[in-house]
Structure 1
Amino acid sequence: MLYVIIPVFNRWHFTRACLQSLQEQKEQNFRVVVVDDGSTDGTAAHLAREFPAVEVLPGTGQLYWTAAVNLGIRHALARGADRIMTLNNDVVAPPDFIESALRWARRQPSALLGPVELDATTGQPVFGGETFSFLTHQRHNLLATLPPEDRCGLHPVTYLPGRGLLIPASVFVTQGLFDERHLPHYLADYDFTSQARRAGFPVYVNYDTHLLTYPDDSGQVQTRQRRSLRGYYQHLFGIRGGGNLRNFTYFALKNAPVFFLPFFLLNGYLRRLLGYFLH
């Protein structure tokens, strides 16, 4: 049984649209768990009234993404889940999303699979997977290099984000849950999938599965649009900071090859210290 885990904190309009899209899936053999981490906008009442079939786990308000997802995963595994999908609330799943993801999961039962992301406003692809060099710190964007005729099926990548990430339960048995201690919000998904790949689990972006997202509404984008000294501090040190130096250091120590580590750290620190003002 597939369990879909959705961490939420407020933004009910996103959560409603996401859950409605899941209700409209062609494939309905899955269960949905929402981890409501202390929402103050009536999310809990709305869920009980509009989506009574959804399982809701309350949080403390201090879980953030990683601990919230882990809470849902523990719940699902205890109930016999053989696959877990992590899904943000600010996404919309096309009707064939689950069906396509499970079709490929049956062909590659040990693989971690992620969808191609389309901008929900324009329909244009915004994420199609990437490979990453720890030596040069360069990302190779598959969307920029794959010809149209090859934009189908599975393509290997270095890591995947948690939006629509499909994970076999065997991965959790092998390496445990997401690293909520060191990576409470950002980079936990990239770390988890990178660790899984190194442990022998294939990691693919699935070009036959699409997910609609709102890239301009992410916390990182909004922080950079409102550039300020306070925003810069939050960017580098806040739990939700996309350039959090502490989180990056832990990610580097866990994932970068030891011979590349000094250069990778230096390169990464410079990118985070300067990138807030340059992008």
Structure 2
Amino acid sequence: MGAVGLSEGKTVYIVLLNWNGFQDTVECIESCRALSYRPATVVVVDNASRDGSEEKLRQRFPGLPVLQTGSNLGYAGGNNVGIRYALDRGADYVWLLNNDTTVHPEALTELVRVAEAERQAGILGSKILSYLDPTLIWFAGGWVEADRGETGHIGLGVPDRGQFDQVTDTGYVTGCSLLVKREVVEQVGMMDEGYFLYFEESEWCLRAKRQGYRLLYVPASIVWHKESVSTRKLAGAWVYYMTRNRLYFMSRNGAKARWLSRFGSDLWEFLRLLAKGEFRLANCMSSGYWHWLTGYRGRREQPVKG
């Protein structure tokens, strides 16, 4: 498909959340500069990086909007800063894009094309391939089982042979590449910052779906992902937030939550970690449960009630 013309294009703001990831963010910005779609504006939100990212990005890309959050607000909080900035400046669409990605020149064009063609489309996602092995799929749509507190990617790790090349409705859209219409944000609000990390975009998608919007997977929009670059070294954080937020996600979205199954699976995992001597990770699991039971949310180091 050809690019949307300058005179007919909807205004899109591309929000890149940076946290100690200068080199990845630079590569992502450079790939966004090759996008065929216009008008599109890249905005970087720096989540209180400690590696000098903010200043280096300002020097590397003079004139590029770089917003400083002042503290690490997590995925939802940081992206919400960018979304507000975009909407205040008249954005018709906001494209949330992980900074550890690169994009095909037509990726945004295809997302907007489908969004404009499908009136009820509210949130749309790309076909995401592995950056290290572009023949492998990372995301070709998603599934959600809220009663079990589980979400997952369709096609994860499968060779891309065109088997997922139809635009389809999807259970949710991963925040790695997520295009949202302005009206959706105005109707359903921002992402819930209490999650801090993980499940926030899943719940956001479900909230949009409950308001009658369609969630669409757009395979002609291609993105390459480096796969958890920012959290690979944070195994404990991953265990804590996945444990805690899964329970919140179930309690808020599972109509017939299967608590016994959830508790049984988590107990088995907890005992497995103890048996392997992974005491730090087991402690992260128990902390996740404790904070859920006592109603604490947000950042683990600075939890808040509610």
TM-score normalised by L of structure 2 = 0.76
Counterpart code for 1:54: L
Identity of aligned residues (%): 24
CA change 1:127–1:154 in 2 (3 A) is same
Q: Which amino acid aligns with 2:17?
A: P
Moved more, 260-269 or 60-69: 260-269
- Supply the distance in 1 between the matched residues of 2:44 and 2:272 (Cα, whole angstroms): 34
Cα shift at 1:58: 0.8
1:152 paired with 2:165, answer: yes
The residue correspondences of 1:265-276 to structure 2 (distance < 5 A) are 265-266=262-263, 269-270=266-267, 273=270
In the superposition, relative to structure 1, how do residues 104 and 177 fare at CA in structure 2: closer, same or farther (>3 Å)?
Answer: same
When residues 39 and 195 of structure 1 are mapped into structure 2, their CA distance, relative to the original with a 3 A threshold, is: same
Q: Which residue of 2 aligns with 1:133?
A: 145
Give yes or no for the alignment of 1:76 onto 2:89.
no
Map of 1:228 onto structure 2: none
Question: What CA distance in whole angstroms lies between the structure 2 residues aligned with 1:159 and 1:248?
Answer: 15
Separation of aligned partners in 1, 2:268 and 2:124: 28
Match of 1:117 in 2: 128
Further displaced range: 113-122 or 142-151: 142-151
Aligned match of 1:244: 243
Q: How many residues align?
A: 262
How far apart are 1:147 and its partner, in Å? 9.8
Which residue of 1 is the match for residue 259 of structure 2?
Answer: 262
How many Å separate the matches in 2 of 1:198 and 1:268? 29
CA contact (8 A) 2:149 2:254 kept: no
Alignment counterpart, residue 253 of structure 1, candidates 251, 254, 270: 251
Q: Which residue of 2 aligns with 1:175?
A: 188
| Superposed displacement of residue 46, structure 1 | 2.3
Matched, 1:3 2:1: no
Cα distance in 1 for partners of 2:230, 2:76 equals: 16
Structure 1, residues 169-205: CA drift from partner, whole Å, max 9, x if none?
111111110000x211211111111221122110111
Q: Specify whether residues 132 and 154 from structure 1 end up closer, same or farther in structure 2 by C-alpha distance, changes over 3 A only.
A: same
What is the RMSD of the two structures over their aligned residues, measured on CA atoms?
Answer: 2.8
* Larger fraction in helix: 1
Partner Cα distance (2:100, 2:209) in 1? 27
Distance 2:55 2:35 in 1: 24
TM-aligned CA distance change 1:60 to 1:260, over 3 Å: same
Deviations 1:238-277 (A, max 9, x none): xxx4x232x22221122111x3353564366457646877
Asked if 1:24 corresponds to 2:64, the answer is no
1:70/1:178 contact within 8 Å kept: yes
Within 2, Cα distance between the matches of 1:265 and 1:49?
A: 49
Aligned to 2:176: 163
Q: CA separation of 1:135/1:271 partners in 2, compared to 1, >3 Å: closer, same or farther?
A: farther
Alignment of 1:187 with 2:187, yes or no, is: no
Residues 270 and 168 of structure 1: CA distance in aligned 2, closer, same or farther (over 3 Å)? farther
The 1:191–1:269 alpha-carbon spacing in structure 2 relative to 1, beyond 3 Å, is: farther
Report the CA distance shift for 1:51/1:101 in structure 2 as closer, same or farther (over 3 A): same
Letter in 1 for 2:218: N
Which residue of 1 is the match for residue 56 of structure 2? 46
Q: Does 1:199 align with 2:211?
A: yes
Q: Quote the offset at 1:8 in angstroms.
A: 0.8
Name the CA shift for 1:51/1:199 in 2 (closer, same or farther; >3 Å): same
Under a length normalisation based on structure 1, what TM-score does the superposition of the two structures give? 0.83
Deviation at 1:160, TM superposition (A): 1.5
**Per-residue CA distance 1:2-38 (angstroms, 9 max, x = gap):** 1111111111110000000011112231111111122
